Structure 1
């Protein structure tokens, strides 16, 4: 199984500049504006520089405030108001930008990029344009959010470029609009951004057990697996795990539900405000709090995370990478082969494995199509084969086996971040000799519980910012005897 190369890690970070909505908007708008001026305009460097200088505050406001889900409709009134008040609407410039936008999202991203990286058919553009129009999360592929932002910013730049460079009196109008837009954006988010889950202030406080109930923890994450689509799929092995283990039916992902954010929470027990990873675009490498891998080392144990290059940005050398540049139909099989190799060579006390094919199918083909359900069914077979191999090798003796997802996926290009329908709740199953059989937990929990539950199982201290409760409902009574309850300390 090929590892992610240094070039692939750098390329993944560069791609996030264009994939994440926040950095994409200024990069795209400035790029198409300057290119238009060079090819079709007068290319007055002074006027372009003046326009870009005046636009910096507006770019900053738009970078600061996402307008996800239904909030994106609130972008159109300011755009219409600016054009009606200060002008700046150039039909040629706007058509130029829209042409480049749909070329980038539908042809380059949805067709060429996915074909070269994971083998998607070259006619994917026939479906991908519909997915871009339906996507609701704040990525570059969210047309209903990006288009009004592009229209507004280009009108602003075009009108500013018509003014005399250095004429601050003439700049009062655009700058005044920016101030008003900032207040408007703040008010919209204050009044209508009301679906973000609560983030409790408490830290994990469950006393550790006198005798750790597990010798090893195996965690398999089906990246981007929608819970409702899993329930529709033919997954006999996962169904067996549910019948003979404990299922959490209301396990909630983390906000914002981006892969690196969710994994950072899963392996620190902390919210993004604590671990510092707030999108897949990681400006400063490494989580800024302790992780489960740190605490396992402190306890004389080892942990490994097997995943794609993105996860190195959060966990560095604790990650064994796999390349994400391969046919999607082969990806999960290669990952599981690498997982077997790691288990035999390193025999970690914690092995976490990221399966990527389901997520990549959701992004490239859409999560409401048959291909997505089929990838979930493939994941079920891969997990069953891996489980049987672990059992035959003796690695499952007194082991806790967990299957979950990091986030779901909404309609469109499989977007996920702001908890649209299909994103919020994820599958979560625990299995092992210390786990209650045939048990369902319907209480609301979230992914901050992953790390404290692993620490409890292995007898390792909790990380310093771990906030999630240990999933005590899953344990058999004999696994819940704490050291403090026996008089041996906590």
Structure 2
């Protein structure tokens, strides 16, 4: 059931190699012809706020100007939220508060901006958390509520616990690996709901995590992240191609069937698109 609706899930700090070795449910979908997997090379600096903007606008930091986590302002680019809304589609997000600061209101007010249900905003239905240890399980429950009650055309979901455990224990730790297992288990419950509602699903990460418990640099551990796609428009299986992170926004536009912004680079996955 194709409805030209998309769920974009950004698992903060999910390394490519750990995703491949510890996300058993996602591998199950790949082996059974229900999902595709790619390796993505993130932009640099491999930091969260710059790469949220890159993923959602399809532009690098040198263009969008969000160069560090300390840059607190609204986006100046045409994001997926802008493009969807301008195309008559509805938007929603269950995400970290930095996403609100990029697209709805900056700076974030913890007492007022936690729940934002306002059709005048770019993110019309937003549930935003502001503590890194906020449980991923709660976040996916909130995303499920948004999907069921608000029926958005574009739903953005951003869990933080993998990043939180990576900083606390490093990527070379049982805690980090077990957290990736936990996210995979949550996806095994949530993704069937997406399918029932007729959504295409994109799952990726902003950046990776190093054995030092950090990120921001130019190593494969910093920059290589997974891209999983569940859509009848994308051929299932594993691709050996290394994709630019700039491909994610135009891919979402293709699945939403909306025009990409003029600043986005052309989508270079044509051989993988079925329709």
TM-score (norm 1): 0.49
Match of 2:131 among 304, 307, 325: 325
Q: Which deviates the most, 302-311 or 363-372?
A: 302-311
Q: Secondary structure at the match of 1:400?
A: strand
Higher helix share: 1
Instruction: Tell me which residue corresponds to 1:471.
Output: 269
- Greater Rg over alpha carbons, structure: 1
Structure 1 residues 67-466: aligned runs within 5 Å? 215-233=4-22, 235-243=23-31, 244=33, 245-249=35-39, 251-283=40-72, 285-316=73-104, 317-319=121-123, 320-325=126-131, 328=133, 331-391=135-195, 394-396=196-198, 399-413=199-213, 415-438=214-237, 440-466=238-264
**Segments of 4+ moved more than 4 angstroms:** none
For structure 2, the residue ranges without an aligned partner over 5 or more in a row are 105-120
Distance 1:232 1:246, change over 3 A: closer
Distance 1:272 1:412, change over 3 A: same
Distance 1:242 1:324, change over 3 A: farther
Q: Distance in 2 between matches of 1:292 and 1:390?
A: 19
Q: Secondary structure at the match of 1:443?
A: strand
Q: Distance in 1 between matches of 2:61 and 2:220?
A: 22
Q: Secondary structure at the match of 1:270?
A: coil
Q: Secondary structure at the match of 1:301?
A: coil
Q: Distance in 1 between matches of 2:202 and 2:29?
A: 9
Q: Distance in 2 between matches of 1:275 and 1:219?
A: 20
- Equivalent pair of 1:277/1:314 in contact (CA under 8 Å): no
Shift, 1:442, TM fit: 2.0
Q: Which deviates the most, 462-471 or 399-408?
A: 462-471
- Equivalent pair of 1:264/1:287 in contact (CA under 8 Å): yes
- Equivalent pair of 1:269/1:449 in contact (CA under 8 Å): yes
Deviations 1:169-206 (A, max 9, x none): xxxxxxxxxxxxxxxxxxxxxxxxxxxxxxxxxxxxxx
Q: Secondary structure at the match of 2:261?
A: coil
Q: Distance in 2 between matches of 1:470 and 1:300?
A: 26
Aligned residues: 254
Shift, 1:430, TM fit: 0.9
**More RCO (CA 8 Å, sep 6+):** 2
Instruction: Tell me which residue corresponds to 1:78.
Output: none
- Equivalent pair of 1:308/1:324 in contact (CA under 8 Å): yes
RMSD across aligned positions (CA): 1.9
Q: Distance in 2 between matches of 1:324 and 1:382?
A: 21
TM-score (norm 2): 0.86
Higher strand share: 2
Q: Secondary structure at the match of 2:222?
A: coil
Q: Distance in 2 between matches of 1:443 and 1:473?
A: 11
Shift, 1:416, TM fit: 1.2
Q: Distance in 1 between matches of 2:52 and 2:271?
A: 23
- Equivalent pair of 2:140/2:186 in contact (CA under 8 Å): yes
Q: Distance in 2 between matches of 1:433 and 1:289?
A: 29
Distance 1:278 1:321, change over 3 A: farther
